[in-house]
Amino acid sequence: MRKRLWWGIGIVVILALATGVWWVWGRAQGPLKVKAVAVAPISMQEDVYATGNVVPVARQDVRVLSPGRVSKVAVKVGDSVQAGQTLVTLDTTLADAQVAQAKANVEAAQTSVNAAQNNYDELKKAQSVQSASVASLSADAAASGSLFPQSSAGQTSTPQVNSVSSGTIRQAEGILAQSKSALKQAQEALKVVQVQQGQMIYKSSIAGTVLEVNAQEGNLSPVQQPLVLVANLSQMNVEARLNEVDAGKVQLGRRVKVTSRVLGNASVQGTIVEISPEAVTGPSVQGNASPTVGVKIHLDQVPSGLKPGFTVSIQIIVATKEGVLAIPQEALFQEGSKNFVYMILGGRLQKTEVRVGIGNETHQEITSGLKAGDLVVLNPTNQLAQGLPVTPDLGSAGT
């Protein structure tokens, strides 16, 4: 029993001595040493980063208007083509027959118009001769003092001319108008079948390179895939999507730096030429996708090896400022929607709320809360607190 008591007293003594040593040692160590940096004016550039896909500026997906059997494929993948060049031809047997029939109908209708026109012209000529004859007889009668000349027996002589009535003329006009209408209908029908015939022959609308050929001679034309895909590879765009915060910072005409693993250490410049007027929320496995806005960037030039479909990284310069107060990003910490730093004032920590402006990967502009020369703690931890005595370690970060 006495032995246990002595053990207990010994443990208490040891703990007391350890506590005393720790207190003395801690007191001897002085204030906590923290890494710090001085607030200073710098030149800042705020950038937006994203990834995008390379797409041709001009592209043609040649798709069938009505399925048919492929009779000829005139190109292969990699071929260079000109605008108007034939790519694929479908079987035109039926269309050719329809065009031939329509042409025959036009010829028949034209023959009817010619006949009706000749008949009308003859009747009008006869009517004109008749009118001239009556006028001549009337003039002779007037000269002899009677309405009509008299015969040798003393009787009045009536002029004999072929009579062409106004009704006959109107009937001829009606037949001519009907034949002209029939001709016009036949001509329009010919145009329709000629268009349908032309739709069986697919041509390139742009000059470019053939990227895909999905048609095979003798087979039915594909419906789900384009017959041929043609693109102009000399001009490229980059299409990317930005989150709603970044999308609010970019503007048309902003310059963009584009990099890719294909380009190595090189980069290519571009310009924002289009910003989508709406945000789109795409599907997400997590179910919490945020809205994004599409942007299109036109590349100044297309480097060798950069192909449609490649993924690239983009850096958009959204703001540039000279002489702004800034601190490293690692000096900031958030509580709710507010930003704070630990400022070192009189050898103690002072928790200070700050307002921020533009930022980049390394620094953040401070618009209020700090002034040039103020010391702020880097990488603040939960061990720090208001009023804690500290010693700043400026290191290489000091000014």
The answer to whether residues 262 and 358 belong to one domain is no
Mean pLDDT of 39-46: 88
- The parent domain of residue 306 ranges over 48-56+232-320
Q: Which residues contact 128 (CB under 8 A, 6 or more apart)?
A: none
Shared domain check, 385 and 345? yes
Residue 4: its pLDDT value, please? 54
- Residue 19 included in any domain: no
Position 175 scores a pLDDT of 93
What per-residue confidence (pLDDT) applies to 7? Answer: 53
Amino acid 140: pLDDT: 62
pLDDT at 145: 58
Higher pLDDT, 198 or 312: 312
228 contacts: CB under 8 Å, gap ≥ 6 = 62, 75, 87, 88, 202, 204, 210, 212, 213, 214, 215
Predicted confidence at residue 138, as pLDDT, reads 66
Q: Between these two residues, 10 and 367, which has the higher pLDDT value?
A: 367
Q: Which of 297, 320, 343 is the last residue of a domain?
A: 320
Does 250 fall in a domain?
yes
The pLDDT of residue 142 is 64
- SS3 of 127-150: the string is HHHHHHHHHHHHHHHHHHCCCCCE
pLDDT in tens, 334-365: 998 899 999 999 999 999 999 998 888 889 99
Is residue 162 pLDDT above 60, yes or no? no
pLDDT in tens, 59-116: 999 888 778 899 999 999 999 999 999 999 988 888 889 999 999 999 999 999 999 9
Tens-place pLDDT, residues 245-267: 889 889 999 999 999 988 888 89
**Is 367's pLDDT higher than 80?**
yes
Last residue of a domain, one of 268, 289, 320: 320
Contacts of 171 (CB under 8 A, 6+ apart): none
Answer whether residue 34 is part of any domain.
Answer: yes
Is the pLDDT at 160 greater than 70, yes or no? no
Helix (H) or strand (E) holding 363: strand 363-368
- What pLDDT score does 93 carry? 85
Strands (E), 300-362: 311-328, 333-335, 338-345, 348-359
- The pLDDT assigned to 398 comes to 42
Whole-number average pLDDT of the chain: 84
327 with 270, same domain?
no
Torsion of CA 207, 208, 212, 217, to 10 degrees: 40
Give the count of domains, the chain.
4
Residue 161 pLDDT? 46
174-216 confidence digits (pLDDT tens): 999 999 999 999 999 999 988 888 878 899 999 999 999 999 9
pLDDT at 300: 94
CATH number for the domain spanning 362: value is 2.40.420.20
Q: Is residue 10 assigned to a domain? A: no
Residue 172: the pLDDT is 87
Lowest mean pLDDT among 76-80, 305-309, 395-399: 395-399
Whether 391 is covered by a domain: the verdict is: yes
Look at the chain and count its residues: 399
* Res 281 pLDDT > 60: yes
Whether 15 is covered by a domain: the verdict is no
Q: What is the pLDDT of residues 15-30, one digit of tens each?
A: 555 545 444 444 445 6
Please determine, for residue 31, whether its predicted confidence score (pLDDT) is greater than 50.
Answer: yes
d(CA 118, CA 21): 133
Q: 326 and 390: one domain?
A: yes
Per-residue pLDDT at 22: 43
Distances (CA, A) of 194 to 74, 98, 199: 21, 8, 9
Asked if 248 and 315 sit in the same domain, the reply is yes
